[in-house]
């Protein structure tokens, strides 16, 4: 897919144009997660799908745990070291988002279960998603996380945001800001990696890029077309009528 030595040489050669493409996704990522946590606490709903939060968590944790590779090891380089520092914080955000699914998600996802059983299923599900992540990661032969960065940044998130809106039939837990962050992340990463390997200029990759850079914009249109989330008082009144 790409040659390590050539990739490192390209990162060093084009560092002036690649560095902004590193800073951009880090900023967008932290805006995404801080907005998600604040909105979840404010609206008392889960805002990220369980699969997406777990997939993010395993991607970033597996990168962080390879500290010895990035600092003084086989892949000692400023690009990976910079991402290591950035992802230490995102792992904490992702773990907290999984907790917020436990705290607020049972009503939507599995209301008939006890809280303890629901929590146990989330723990087991997180492990299961980890097995999916590692299967994909090692199947890609993407030791430098180039492809996995763009895959993780958008595929688990954008389609599941659509699914949550379809399920709820309102825009609860959804944010235009987070959708724009996803598009910004994939644009910046693609701009960086296209300078590193011709794979990121191939028709296959560019087709992926166009589809998933546009998907969050479709979500924005859906957010604007849906009604706001019902107030707690309205929900309580509806439940009383149904009873």
- Alpha helix (H) residue ranges in the chain: 4-13, 15-43, 50-64, 67-70, 78-104, 106-109, 115-140, 146-154, 158-168, 176-193, 203-225, 232-242
Cα–Cα distance between 243 and 232 in angstroms, integer? 16
Query: Which candidate, 134, 162, 150, places its Cα nearest to that of 196?
Result: 150
Buried b (16+ CB within 10 A) or exposed e, 114-127: eeeebbebbeeebe
Is 241's pLDDT higher than 60? no
Average pLDDT score over residue span 212-237: 83
Q: At what angle do helices 146-154 and 203-225 cross, to 10 degrees?
A: 20
Q: How sure is the predictor about 18, in pLDDT bands with cuts at 50, 70 and 90?
A: very high
Query: Which candidate, 180, 179, 185, places its Cα nearest to that of 164?
Result: 179
Q: How sure is the predictor about 1, in pLDDT bands with cuts at 50, 70 and 90?
A: low
93 within 8 A of 37, measured Cβ to Cβ: yes
Query: Which candidate, 169, 168, 148, places its Cα nearest to that of 80?
Result: 148
Cα–Cα distance between 211 and 116 in angstroms, integer? 39
- Quote the DSSP letter at residue 114: -
187 within 8 A of 213, measured Cβ to Cβ: yes
Please report the DSSP string for 2-51 in residue order. --HHHHHHHHHHTHHHHHHHHHHHHHHHHHHHHHHHHHHHHHTS--S-HH
Q: How sure is the predictor about 3, in pLDDT bands with cuts at 50, 70 and 90?
A: confident
% of the chain with per-residue pLDDT over 70: 94
Computed over every residue of the chain, the mean pLDDT equals 91
Number of domains in the chain: 1
Is 205's pLDDT higher than 60? yes
pTM: 0.90
Cα–Cα distance between 22 and 189 in angstroms, integer? 7
Is 232's pLDDT higher than 60? no
Cα–Cα distance between 179 and 221 in angstroms, integer? 10
Q: How sure is the predictor about 191, in pLDDT bands with cuts at 50, 70 and 90?
A: very high
Cα–Cα distance between 167 and 193 in angstroms, integer? 35
Cα–Cα distance between 84 and 105 in angstroms, integer? 30
Mind listing the pLDDT tens digit for each residue in 148-190? Answer: 999 898 888 899 999 999 999 999 999 999 999 999 999 999 9
Mind listing the pLDDT tens digit for each residue in 121-130? Answer: 999 999 999 9
Is 243's pLDDT higher than 60? no
Residue range(s) defining the domain that contains residue 191 = 4-242
Average pLDDT score over residue span 203-219: 96
pLDDT at 153 (0 to 100)? 85
% of the chain with per-residue pLDDT over 90: 78
What are the C-alpha distances in Å from 139 to residues 10, 136, 199, 202, 221?
24, 5, 17, 20, 35
Q: At what angle do helices 158-168 and 203-225 cross, to 10 degrees?
A: 30
pLDDT at 229 (0 to 100)? 83
């Amino acid at each position: 897919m790409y040659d390590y030595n050539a990739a490192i040489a390209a990162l060093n050669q084009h560092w002036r144009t690649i560095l902004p493409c590193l800073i951009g996704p880090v900023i967008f990522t932290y805006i995404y997660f801080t907005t998600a946590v604040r909105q979840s606490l404010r609206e008392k709903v889960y805002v990220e799908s369980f699969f997406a939060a777990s997939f993010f968590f395993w991607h970033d944790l597996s990168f962080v745990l390879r500290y010895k590779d990035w600092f003084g090891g086989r892949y000692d380089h400023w690009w990976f070291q910079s991402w290591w520092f950035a992802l230490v914080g995102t792992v904490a955000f992702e773990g907290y988002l999984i907790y917020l699914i436990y705290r607020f998600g049972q009503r939507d996802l599995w209301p008939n279960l006890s809280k303890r059983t629901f929590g146990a299923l989330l723990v087991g599900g997180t492990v299961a998603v980890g097995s999916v992540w590692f299967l994909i990661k090692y199947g890609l032969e993407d030791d430098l996380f180039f492809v996995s960065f763009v895959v993780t940044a958008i595929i688990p998130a954008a389609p599941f945001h659509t699914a949550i809106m379809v399920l709820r039939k309102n825009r609860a837990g959804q944010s235009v800001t987070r959708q724009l962050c996803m598009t910004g992340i994939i644009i910046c990463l693609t701009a960086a990696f296209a300078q590193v390997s011709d794979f990121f200029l191939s028709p296959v990759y560019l087709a992926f890029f166009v589809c998933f850079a546009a998907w969050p914009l479709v979500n924005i249109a859906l957010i604007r077309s849906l009604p706001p989330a019902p107030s707690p008082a309205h929900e309580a009144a509806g439940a009383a009528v149904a009873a």
